[in-house]
Amino acid sequence: MGMSQEPLVTEELISRQTPEAQAIIRALLAKLNELEARIKKSPRNSSLPPSTEHPHAKTQASKEKSGKKAGGQLGHEKHERSLVPVDQCQSVITVKPKSCRRCGTRLTGADPEPLRHQIWEIPEIKPAVTEYQLHRLTCPCCQNSTCGELPAGVPQCQAGPRLVALTALLMGCFKQSKRRVALFLEQVLNQPCSAGWVVKLQNHATAALTPPYAELAAQLPTEPVLGSDDSPAKEARTKSWLWTFVASTYTVFALRSTRAATVLQEMLTDAFDGVVNCGQFENDPHGSLDRRSMQMPLHNS
């Protein structure tokens, strides 16, 4: 049996009390309503900054349950995967009946509009391995040996750029551990891998992304308008904050051990003369986020 929705303290009950007791009860009820409203506040229904809410916090349903079963309802429009054109299929298999299903007479001919049934499948994945054989030859005149060099653009490690990028994507975007990435590469892509090799590929991805990241970060002070916010994060076991700087065509992330305005000073420098759209000033626990110290107009969102 569900709990009753009737209030425990009614007006009739309050009216039977002494005036002093009525005043106390009404004051307590008002305080209770205030606390309940404060608990229900979130960045979606108030001016609280998004960083104050846990990223995995569940939202309360805005509508009451209809009482219907989950899934498609009776009579709803059917949605099916669209068939691809025949000329885009890797193979087309023609299936014809040999005899009549009633009398057994042999059947010939072709159906101008056959029933089409398509099967989607993932092909077996085999890594493409390219071997470079570097020959070492001896000079017939001076007897010095010279070894062939890898062509320009060929990586020194044993992983190509797409494999390095996929490894970084699995860790960065899909939040997989190094052991799980190694397991995926081995069991799904048939790519021999270990957690240690994943670390090496991560370092290669970091080295490749550092120059374009530095270029975009250096461009931040030249932007006329920026959006900025910080979210709690972790760097190993250390508490940190992920700072976000949003320009019109790109976004720069910076992981720092503080959420003080010194990060803004570091990223935007004294050369910044634009506008920053950010959360409320209470985001800065050190009180250093003001117009005078940053020398920029700040707007509360």
- Tens-place pLDDT, residues 191-207: 999 999 999 999 999 99
CA distances from 59 to 67, 169, 226 (A): 20, 28, 29
The answer to whether position 31 is within a domain reads: no
The answer to whether position 139 is within a domain reads: no
The answer to whether position 90 is within a domain reads: no
| Cβ(161)–Cβ(155) below 8 Å | yes
Say what the pLDDT of residue 182 is. Answer: 97
The answer to whether position 149 is within a domain reads: no
Is the same domain home to 241 and 273?
A: yes
- Per-residue model confidence as pLDDT tens digits over 216-264: 999 999 999 999 999 998 877 889 999 999 999 999 999 999 988 899 9
Q: Output the average pLDDT for the chain.
A: 85
| Cβ(188)–Cβ(170) below 8 Å | no
| Cβ(245)–Cβ(267) below 8 Å | yes
**Higher-pLDDT residue of 160, 3:** 160
- Total domains in the fold of the chain: 2
The answer to whether position 238 is within a domain reads: yes
Domain range spanning residue 204? 158-211
The answer to whether position 276 is within a domain reads: yes
At residue 52 the predicted structure's pLDDT band, cuts being 50, 70 and 90, is low
At residue 300 the predicted structure's pLDDT band, cuts being 50, 70 and 90, is very low
Is the same domain home to 254 and 280?
A: yes
Q: What is the CATH number of the domain that holds 278?
A: 3.30.420.10
Best-predicted range by mean pLDDT among 62-76, 96-110, 271-285? 96-110
Say what the pLDDT of residue 299 is. Answer: 41
Whether the pLDDT of residue 62 is over 80: the answer is no
pTM over 0.75: no
Is the same domain home to 205 and 227?
A: no
- Per-residue model confidence as pLDDT tens digits over 147-167: 999 999 999 999 999 999 999
The answer to whether position 82 is within a domain reads: no
Torsion over CA: 208, 214, 215, 216 (sign): positive
